[in-house]
Amino acid sequence: MEHERWMRVALEEARRAGERGETPVGAALVCGGELVMRAGNRCEEMGDATAHAEMLVLRGRRRLTGHTLYVTLEPCPMCAGAIALARPDRVVFGAHDARAGCCGSVYRLTEDARLGLGGVPAFGGVLAGECAALLRGFYARRRERET
């Protein structure tokens, strides 16, 4: 399935981010069946709270008509806002984020008509188990180091 193919690319970026000590979230931007950009979180490395995987693949791009954004974790408020402004055709995410997810779990920022941007449909659950397991493992190891 096409969505699983591209989510695996995002998962690879998430794994790389985790190996660098970053929260393991990855993103892949696809247009016309071709990979345009891929990235993993780089907040620690760059000392930049906005260096989320989604933000990194969106930077330098204004309108994303015809594009699909794949991300391993449901976008947070900051990323969802940037996604709404960039207007890809859709967002496909892996794991839901019950704490801060803004593509359906907590709020639907990308589809909020009050923004006057037309809305970006989003759906999740693609390879959700693998995406969530990567995050759980990362946080479990982090807790072990902190105790």
Residues recognised as catalytic: 54
The residues near 9 (Cβ < 8 Å, ≥ 6 apart) are 26, 28, 35, 38, 70
Identity at 16, one-letter amino acid code: R
**Is 31 marked as a binding-site residue?**
no
What is the rounded distance in angstroms from the CA atom of residue 142 to the CA atom of residue 146?
6
**Is 79 marked as a binding-site residue?**
yes
**Is 76 marked as a binding-site residue?**
yes
For residues 21-37, one letter each, b for 16 or more C-beta atoms within 10 angstroms of the residue's C-beta and e for the rest, the string is: ebbbbbbbbbeeeeeeb
Q: Which residues are annotated as a binding site for Zn(2+)?
A: 52, 76, 79
